[in-house]
């Protein structure tokens, strides 16, 4: 019944619109306004550009100021402070250009709208002007690029040797975390060793892997360099820690890395935001399938002393499950290789 009523309503509305359209066409034919150029429509359109400029300008400033704390995520890493600064410098520069060009773009239509008897000025070029507005953006952009390049070089420079290593592995649809243990060296892995009990594919014949341990969340110390070693098991993923201003793709077959220095512990951030439930999060930003929107991992930033304590408490893979290494001792790799080739047939 409702559907029928809605359909009738829509039909009525459409026929009203149709009538209005026909009437205005006929009126304009009678008035001969089609032959005129300086019409009311021309004036209205010119005026609407100004209305649009003022209206949307007010909306933009109002919303940008009102919502500032909402869209400006708090920053919790050393390089993040620098990239944020670059972001806002760029915002200031482009903001000025945005405003000036748009004011001109919307004022000109109003000011120079068609007038009978006036002639537009024949102004085909002005080399001086053109050189100026090629050079000025060139110089400004060079400034922005060079500052960006310096920041980028620092961020992507090799990690300090003492950096705490954490391995993050993406798979459909979660992240797995592995710590290198006391030796701070991750053991070898091979994707062919992956099975139900060894989700990382760790090669336990490698000595470095004996003290490796898993963790349900990423725990890192404040104020000390941390190196994320990133890899993927199946398809592309991307580690995105928004508060750390950190993003790096996880690529199957090609390990990637990103190092940074966290500057605020989770507790400090909770106090700052007055949000006792705040957590640093990792999300996935490379489309990876059905569960792309749900690949969450929590990062907990703690004081260095607390971090050392936490490290000491962790149990390695082998301690948690002594059987895990047993099967591999006997030429495990070849066995796994055979299994894969069988299962592929």
User: d(Cα 46, Cα 43) in Å, to the nearest integer?
Assistant: 5
* Nearer CB in complex with other proteins: 92/309: 92
Q: What are phi and psi of 234, to 5 degrees?
A: -125, -65
User: d(Cα 8, Cα 271) in Å, to the nearest integer?
Assistant: 58
- CB 322 to other proteins: min, Å: 24
Q: Which helix (H) or strand (E) holds 174?
A: strand 174-179
User: d(Cα 91, Cα 83) in Å, to the nearest integer?
Assistant: 12
- CB 306 to other proteins: min, Å: 22
- CB 327 to other proteins: min, Å: 16
User: d(Cα 159, Cα 228) in Å, to the nearest integer?
Assistant: 10
* Nearer CB in complex with other proteins: 41/320: 41
DSSP, collapsed to helix, strand or coil, labels residue 278 as coil
* Nearer CB in complex with other proteins: 6/182: 6
- CB 162 to other proteins: min, Å: 21
* Nearer CB in complex with other proteins: 142/319: 142
Rounded to a whole number of angstroms, the distance between the first and last alpha carbons of the chain is: 58
- CB 191 to other proteins: min, Å: 4
Per-residue DSSP letter, 251: B
Tokens of 83: 């990239």
- CB 87 to other proteins: min, Å: 5
**Is the bond into 6 cis (omega within 30 degrees of 0)?**
no
Give yes or no for a contact between 256 and 249, defined as CB atoms under 8 angstroms apart: yes
* Nearer CB in complex with other proteins: 12/26: 26
* Nearer CB in complex with other proteins: 98/272: 98
């Amino acid at each position: 019944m409702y559907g029928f009523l809605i359909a009738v309503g829509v039909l009525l509305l459409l026929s009203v619109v149709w009538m209005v359209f026909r009437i205005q066409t006929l009126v304009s034919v009678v008035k001969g306004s089609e032959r005129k150029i300086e019409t009311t429509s021309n004036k209205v359109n010119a005026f609407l550009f100004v209305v649009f400029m003022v209206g949307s300008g007010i909306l933009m400033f109002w919303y940008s100021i009102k919502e500032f704390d909402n869209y400006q995520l708090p920053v919790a890493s050393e390089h993040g402070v620098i990239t944020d600064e670059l972001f806002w410098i760029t915002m200031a520069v482009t903001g000025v250009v945005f405003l000036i060009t748009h004011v001109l773009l919307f004022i000109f239509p109003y000011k120079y709208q068609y007038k009978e008897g006036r002639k537009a000025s024949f102004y085909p070029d002005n080399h001086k002007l053109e050189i100026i507005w090629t050079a000025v953006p060139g110089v400004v952009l060079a400034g922005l690029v060079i500052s960006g390049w310096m920041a980028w070089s620092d961020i992507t420079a090799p990690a300090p040797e003492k950096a705490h290593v954490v391995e993050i592995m993406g798979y459909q649809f979660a992240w797995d975390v592995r710590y290198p243990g006391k030796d701070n060296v991750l053991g070898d892995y091979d994707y062919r060793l992956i099975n139900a009990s060894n989700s990382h594919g760790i090669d336990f014949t490698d000595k470095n892997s004996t003290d490796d341990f898993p963790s349900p969340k990423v725990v890192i110390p404040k104020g000390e360099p941390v190196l994320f070693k990133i890899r993927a098991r199946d398809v592309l993923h991307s580690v995105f820690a928004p508060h750390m201003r950190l993003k790096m793709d996880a690529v199957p077959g090609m390990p990637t890395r990103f190092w940074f220095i966290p500057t605020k512990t989770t507790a400090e951030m909770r106090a700052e935001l007055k949000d006792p439930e705040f957590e640093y999060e990792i999300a996935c930003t490379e489309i990876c399938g059905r569960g792309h929107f749900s690949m969450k991992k929590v990062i907990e930033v703690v004081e260095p002393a607390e971090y050392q304590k936490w490290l000491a408490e962790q149990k390695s893979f082998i301690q948690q499950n002594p059987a895990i290494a047993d099967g591999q001792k006997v030429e495990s790799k070849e066995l796994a290789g055979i299994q894969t080739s069988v299962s592929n047939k």
